[in-house]
């Protein structure tokens, strides 16, 4: 017997049997006397269990569900300290699990430069005029981040647009993603930064010139030229944590009971633990820590060993999830790393001019392999930001290398985004136990702008959920909420009912449908935000269904998700959100 097996057997004899005994006693005594902390009756409770049970009542004690079934049995568990709700026939679902949001980033940014969804050149100009008038003391007017796919004209503002709005004040539009940055400066900003025809361009950068050899205002990959004026002040801890808590409460109003912060660090770990100990955390949080290393084995190991937390550390409220790497860029920026060239139609949208261009990588194949193998060796689950199909190929090569070191399927390596699925890729993922975490609301928001640039064939597969699902890959759908605090007007809109409606209808904001065969049913969409989402972090025995023994996380909905008209789905919200039997959100009337 090898030592690992001996260890497992010892655990079974010494640990499991006593636990099993206590559990049996617990179950036997349950019917007789157990008082619940929380009871809900009169609902249409969609449990999502394997039998498809619909119940009317549920009871929770010590965070766990102790009853799912009849009202009568639930009412027998009501004691003097039980919180009781009558759902009055409303639909009740397992709490939603949003596995890709950036609340710490959004909160920090909101404190310094509140996000505004500016949808046209005119709206951009009007925002700049208002800022000029409101902030006479500020040196520069800096626009909030706007993705070009979300500007009606399908182009960035240019120097003339900004000059018209701010003829006497420096103004800058900054568009930054991973290793690509574009700045558009107006004339006063060019003068202030001393940028002219003779300016020395930093390595890898470009100052775009007009026919006369003068700067057009567009500067690419040369942030050092303007860094002095574009620096943002750090918010106070108090402000930052206040906005973060507010944002997490906004998630609760939409029935979200668990989130994954998809890019955080040691400070994020402390922040969430502090909020939890102060009882200010309304959602369960899994942290994805970004690997801040140079891509070598040694530096990756140094980084991982220096973390204040280990794999799976924490509790049911705050715990560590996978480590993260960033492999390619983004589809909104023309930096997804694709198998085939973007093609001539993408030039206008992204400002590209190389017919062979296929996107950008942030890491070499060797670096990706180094980090994934090292993380796996040090017992961490891992995930990778990767949007393009060629980027995914590269990541799967690295996952296969790690799998040859030791089996990796149980760690549920996760591809974040993976927007252009192929059948061969899906089969490879299924074999390696690789999961996918993807964002239908990008299809909704950006599909119309991207269709022209990427072409019909690519669009029919863009965020194609069924390509993955048919191969047996676990897929979680979510928003990648990044900036702003409004559920619909943020970048990206985090309303989970918009996410699910888009997966169900595959309608873009303009009502167009690309790849109708990628539509899923309402139940499948809900499963991808509950049962399947839980699997990404190996939480399926805790979350995702409403069954005895699972955590008591649920949402009572304002409308029936299963029978309301499709166009009403995005308007649904939660009238009562419960986490571990505690009410974290309640609308009037319930």
- Asked if 543 touches Zn ion (CB under 5 A), the answer is no
Closer CB to Zn ion, 161 or 480, in the complex: 480
Closer CB to Zn ion, 333 or 561, in the complex: 333
Widest CA span in the chain: 89
Closer CB to Zn ion, 261 or 539, in the complex: 261
* Both structure tokens of 29: 């005594």
Smallest separation (angstroms) from Zn ion to the CB of 536: 14
Smallest separation (angstroms) from Zn ion to the CB of 481: 8
Closer CB to Zn ion, 104 or 558, in the complex: 104
Smallest separation (angstroms) from Zn ion to the CB of 102: 6
Asked if residues 588 and 577 have their Cβ atoms less than 8 Å apart, the reply is no
Smallest separation (angstroms) from Zn ion to the CB of 223: 21
- Give residues 183-202 in contact with Zn ion (rule: CB under 5 A): none
Smallest separation (angstroms) from Zn ion to the CB of 567: 28
* Both structure tokens of 410: 């149980």
Asked if residues 498 and 442 have their Cβ atoms less than 8 Å apart, the reply is no
Closer CB to Zn ion, 360 or 551, in the complex: 360
Give the helix ranges, DSSP H, for 12-98.
17-33, 71-75
User: What value, to the nearest 5°, has the Cα angle with vertex 374 and ends 373 and 375?
Assistant: 95
Closer CB to Zn ion, 108 or 262, in the complex: 262
The CA distance from 276 to 280, in Å, is: 6
x/- map, 225-264, Zn ion, by CB under 5 A: -------------------------------------x--
Closer CB to Zn ion, 82 or 288, in the complex: 288
User: Which residues, including other chains, have CB under 8 Å from residue 489's CB and lie 6 or more apart?
Assistant: 116, 117
DSSP lists the bridge partners of residue 557 as 574
Calculate the CA 554 to chain-centre distance: 20
Long-range contacts of 124-128 (CB under 8 A, 24+ apart): 124/151, 124/157, 124/161, 124/165, 124/173, 125/157, 125/161, 125/162, 125/164, 125/165, 126/165, 128/162, 128/165, 128/166, 128/171
Give the helix ranges, DSSP H, for 266-364.
266-277, 297-305, 346-350
Smallest separation (angstroms) from Zn ion to the CB of 324: 9
Smallest separation (angstroms) from Zn ion to the CB of 387: 10
Smallest separation (angstroms) from Zn ion to the CB of 216: 31
- Give residues 258-317 in contact with Zn ion (rule: CB under 5 A): 262
Specify the pairing of strand 206-209 against strand 215-220. Answer: antiparallel
Closer CB to Zn ion, 262 or 445, in the complex: 262
Cβ neighbourhood burial of 53 (10 Å; 0-12, 13-18, 19+): middle
Q: Is 313 left (phi over 0), alpha (psi -120 to 50) or beta?
A: beta
Cα distances (angstroms) measured from residue 269 to each of 29, 245, 246, 381? 39, 15, 18, 17
Smallest separation (angstroms) from Zn ion to the CB of 569: 24
The CA distance from 283 to 531, in Å, is: 17
Residue nearest to Zn ion according to CB distances in the complex: 480
- Give residues 8-37 in contact with Zn ion (rule: CB under 5 A): none
Asked if residues 140 and 132 have their Cβ atoms less than 8 Å apart, the reply is no
Closer CB to Zn ion, 103 or 255, in the complex: 103
Task: Tell me if the bond preceding 492 is cis, omega within 30° of 0.
Answer: yes
User: Which residues, including other chains, have CB under 8 Å from residue 405's CB and lie 6 or more apart?
Assistant: 373, 376, 377
Closer CB to Zn ion, 41 or 439, in the complex: 439
Smallest separation (angstroms) from Zn ion to the CB of 105: 9
Closer CB to Zn ion, 159 or 263, in the complex: 263
Closer CB to Zn ion, 49 or 98, in the complex: 98
Closer CB to Zn ion, 110 or 480, in the complex: 480
Smallest separation (angstroms) from Zn ion to the CB of 438: 11
The CA distance from 149 to 144, in Å, is: 15
Give the other-Cβ count within 10 Å of 81's Cβ: 8
The secondary structure element, H or E, covering residue 229 is helix 227-230
How many residues at the interface with Zn ion, by CB under 5 A?
2
* 3-class DSSP state of 213: coil
The secondary structure element, H or E, covering residue 424 is helix 423-432
The CA distance from 506 to 154, in Å, is: 22
Smallest separation (angstroms) from Zn ion to the CB of 480: 4
Smallest separation (angstroms) from Zn ion to the CB of 467: 21
Smallest separation (angstroms) from Zn ion to the CB of 262: 5
x/- map, 473-512, Zn ion, by CB under 5 A: -------x--------------------------------
Closer CB to Zn ion, 186 or 492, in the complex: 492
* Both structure tokens of 406: 């030791």
The residues binding Zn ion (CB under 5 A) are 262, 480
């Amino acid at each position: 017997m090898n030592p690992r097996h001996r260890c497992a057997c010892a655990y079974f004899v010494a640990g499991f049997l006593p636990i099993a005994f206590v559990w049996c006693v617990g179950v036997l005594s349950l019917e007789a006397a157990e008082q619940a902390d929380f009871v809900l009756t009169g609902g249409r409770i969609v449990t999502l269990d394997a039998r498809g049970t619909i119940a009317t009542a549920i009871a929770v004690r010590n965070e766990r569900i102790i009853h799912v079934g009849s009202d009568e049995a639930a009412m027998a568990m009501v004691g003097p300290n039980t919180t009781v709700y009558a759902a009055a026939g409303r639909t009740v679902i397992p709490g939603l699990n949003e596995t890709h949001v950036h609340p710490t980033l959004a909160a920090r940014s909101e404190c310094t430069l509140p996000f505004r969804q500016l949808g046209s050149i005119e709206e951009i100009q009007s925002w700049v005029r208002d800022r000029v008038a409101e902030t006479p003391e500020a040196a520069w007017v800096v626009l909030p981040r706007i993705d070009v796919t979300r500007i009606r004209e399908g182009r960035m503002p240019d120097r003339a647009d900004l000059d018209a709005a701010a003829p006497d004040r420096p103004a800058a539009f900054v568009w930054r993603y991973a290793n690509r940055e574009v700045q558009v400066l107006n004339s006063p900003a060019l003068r202030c930064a001393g940028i002219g025809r003779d300016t020395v361009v930093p390595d890898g950068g470009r100052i775009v010139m007009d026919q006369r050899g003068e700067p057009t205002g567009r500067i690419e990959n040369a942030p050092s030229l303007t860094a002095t004026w574009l620096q943002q002040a750090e918010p106070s801890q108090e402000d930052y944590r206040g906005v973060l808590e507010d944002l997490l409460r906004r998630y609760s109003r939409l029935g979200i009971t668990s989130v994954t912060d998809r890019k955080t660090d040691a400070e994020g770990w402390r922040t969430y633990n502090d909020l939890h100990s102060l009882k200010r955390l309304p959602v369960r949080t899994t942290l994805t820590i970004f690997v801040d290393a140079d891509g070598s084995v040694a530096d990756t190991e140094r980084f991982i060993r220096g973390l204040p937390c280990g794999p799976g550390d924490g509790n049911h409220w705050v715990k560590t999830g996978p480590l993260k790497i960033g492999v390619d860029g983004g589809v909104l920026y023309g930096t997804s790393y694709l198998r085939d060239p973007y093609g001539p139609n993408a030039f206008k949208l992204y400002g590209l001019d190389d017919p062979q261009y296929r996107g950008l990588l942030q890491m070499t194949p060797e670096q990706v392999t180094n980090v994934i193998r090292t993380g796996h060796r040090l017992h961490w689950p891992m995930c990778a930001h990767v949007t393009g199909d060629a980027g995914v190929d590269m990541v799967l090569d690295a996952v296969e290398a790690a799998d040859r070191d030791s089996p990796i399927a149980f760690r549920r390596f996760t591809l974040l985004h993976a927007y252009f699925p192929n059948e061969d890729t899906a089969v490879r993922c299924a074999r390696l136990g690789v999961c996918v975490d993807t964002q239908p609301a990008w299809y909704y928001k950006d599909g119309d702008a991207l269709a022209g640039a990427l072409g019909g064939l690519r669009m029919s597969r863009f965020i194609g959920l069924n390509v993955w699902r048919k191969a047996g890959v676990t897929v979680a759908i979510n928003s990648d909420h990044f900036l702003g605090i409004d559920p619909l007007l943020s970048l990206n809109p985090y309303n989970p009912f918009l996410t699910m409606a888009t997966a169900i209808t595959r309608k873009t904001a303009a009502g167009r449908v690309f790849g109708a065969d990628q539509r899923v049913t309402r139940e499948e969409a809900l499963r991808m935000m509950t049962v399947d989402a839980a699997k990404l972090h190996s939480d399926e025995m805790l979350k995702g269904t409403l069954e005895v023994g699972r955590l008591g996380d649920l949402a009572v909905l304002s409308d029936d998700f299963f029978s309301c008209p499709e166009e009403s789905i995005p308007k649904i919200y939660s009238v009562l959100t419960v986490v571990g039997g505690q009410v974290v959100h309640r609308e009037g009337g319930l």
